[in-house]
Amino acid sequence: MSEQYISIDIGGTFIKSAVIDGKGKVGEVSKVQTPHTLKELLASLQTIVAKQTVQGIAISTPGKVDIEQGMIYHGGALPFLDKVPMKQIMEEQFNIPCALSNDGKAAALAELWLGNLQHVSNGAAIVLGTGVGGGVIINGALLHGSHFQAGELSFLLRSPENSTMQNVIGYSGSAVRLVKEAAKQFGLAKADGHQVFQAFEADENARTFLQAYCREIAFVILNLQAILDLEKVVIGGGISEQPLVLTEIRAQYEQLRTGNAMLSSNVIPVEIATCAFYNNANLLGALYQLLLQEGKL
């Protein structure tokens, strides 16, 4: 029987968990609401792990993650995670190995391991959610960066002149913001993604919202391609399940690339696809990080 691991995805709203074997077979996924204090969060994690007989703990978390020390910084949507030595806490509690991964990087690792970045030497995953997260694959391995910050695309500037929050890609590329603003424009009672995309499908005028949004993402992809010369970029996040998103990102990318003579003659087009994994991406990617840490791959 393959070794079993508990993988946990700490999100801003829910904590998801599942037992996964060393080949990536995911068991039943459970979720509980994410607590609002560190004490309550640690209690929830300990309850989740204590229910299972496993050989290791894999955790995906918001924030900047020092994978070597197992330390979380800033905490993203959960600022109380700043400077929490999560790896040490869990290993001391359960006496089994624990590994941490930033949530965006975990999604990229899932694609590298079992998804649409398999066998890709140089690629990237872009995860569209509250902000723009992701991970960069260089020479077949995840790029962490000198400060474990590589792939944090939300921090990219759109213009050198403007220092406001609206000038970062994390704002203009926010899928959550897109849905909220479109719902308001269309007079919807709530920010429902399915209703918003029904409007995009039905009305070409409404689709201009989506076109402008996808142009921002295409802008990011083109700049990544200019710097890194990637083979493939995969798009993740809940919004990526809408076929219109990939179609429009590809169209906007080509418009930007071919609309500039220097770019069209020098920048080789990158393949753009969706991620293979949606809801389970962070769970799988976190486990992949643990398997790498323990020399199991």
Q: How would you classify the pairing of strands 71-73 and 132-138?
A: unpaired
pTM of the predicted model as reported, rounded to 2 decimal places: 0.92
- Give tens-digit pLDDT for 249-294: 999 999 999 999 999 999 999 999 999 998 899 999 999 999 999 9
- Give tens-digit pLDDT for 45-70: 999 999 999 999 999 999 999 999 99
pLDDT value at 106 more than 80 = yes
Q: Are residues 94 and 127 in the same domain?
A: no
Q: Are residues 56 and 79 in the same domain?
A: yes
Question: In this structure, what token pair is assigned to residue 2?
Answer: 């393959």
Domain boundary among 77, 102, 127: 102
38-49 burial, b at 16+ Cβ within 10 Å, e below that, comes to: eeebbebbeebb
Largest CA distance in the chain: 60
What pLDDT is stored for residue 279 in this prediction?
81
Q: Given pLDDT bands bounded at 50, 70 and 90, which one contains residue 1?
A: low
What pLDDT is stored for residue 206 in this prediction?
86
In sequence order, which ranges of 115-242 are alpha helices (DSSP H)? 169-172, 175-186, 193-202, 207-228
Q: Are 11 and 103 in contact (CB under 8 A)?
A: yes
The answer to the question of residue 30 being in a domain is yes
CATH of the domain at 63: 3.30.420.40
- Give tens-digit pLDDT for 133-187: 999 999 999 999 999 999 999 999 988 888 788 899 999 999 999 999 999 988 8
Domain boundary among 102, 132, 165: 102
What pLDDT is stored for residue 278 in this prediction?
83
pLDDT value at 75 more than 80 = yes
1-10 burial, b at 16+ Cβ within 10 Å, e below that, comes to: eeebbbbbbb
Q: Are residues 173 and 268 in the same domain?
A: yes
Q: Are residues 120 and 86 in the same domain?
A: no
Over residues 115-131, mean pLDDT: 95
- Give tens-digit pLDDT for 228-249: 999 999 999 989 999 999 999 9
Q: Are residues 251 and 165 in the same domain?
A: yes
For the chain, the domain total comes to 2
The whole domain housing 224 covers 116-274
